[in-house]
Amino acid sequence: MLAESLPVRINALDADGPTDLTAAMPARPDVVAYPMAASAEQMHALHAALSHWEHTLGIVPNTTEILPVCETALGVVDVRAIASGSSRIRAALPWGRRPGRRLVRRTPVRRSGVRPRAPALRPRMPRRGYRAD
């Protein structure tokens, strides 16, 4: 049987994050997702806030994990520094909303001013009768 886990997403600590933690921590979440992660300092601050709440609520120290969601270019470039910002981080999620989408999708314009048809994003399935050896 799979173990149940309770992930929560909070806002940045310099916005509504403290209010979100006040509401979420009594439920004893397993993972706190931090969107728009851009620096290791943010992870240090979240680590300290989680330590405070774990102590206050009697939760075993360092059991709540942090999942930084690196949705900005700065966050993706510094993902290793962000991941080393806390011992609670086991993974980081780059491009939180649409990880399969391309960053920039441009189609060249022909001299006639008409754009050619854009390539499909999904791979084409083989036709019937095709056999892979």
Q: What is the pLDDT of residues 43-58, one digit of tens each?
A: 999 999 999 999 999 9
- The model's pTM is 0.69
Query: Residue by residue, what is the 3-state secondary structure of the chain?
Result: CCCCCCEEECCCCCCCHHHHHHHHHHHCCCEEEEECCCCHHHHHHHHHHHHHHHHHHCCCCCCCEEEEEECCHHHHHCHHHHHCCCCCECCCEECCCCCCCCCCCCCCCCCCCCCCCCCCCCCCCCCCCCCCC
Q: What pLDDT is attached to residue 102?
A: 44
128 pLDDT above the threshold of 50? yes
Q: What pLDDT is attached to residue 111?
A: 56
For the chain, the domains span: 15-91
131 pLDDT above the threshold of 70? no
Q: What is the pLDDT of residues 109-126, one digit of tens each?
A: 455 555 555 554 555 555
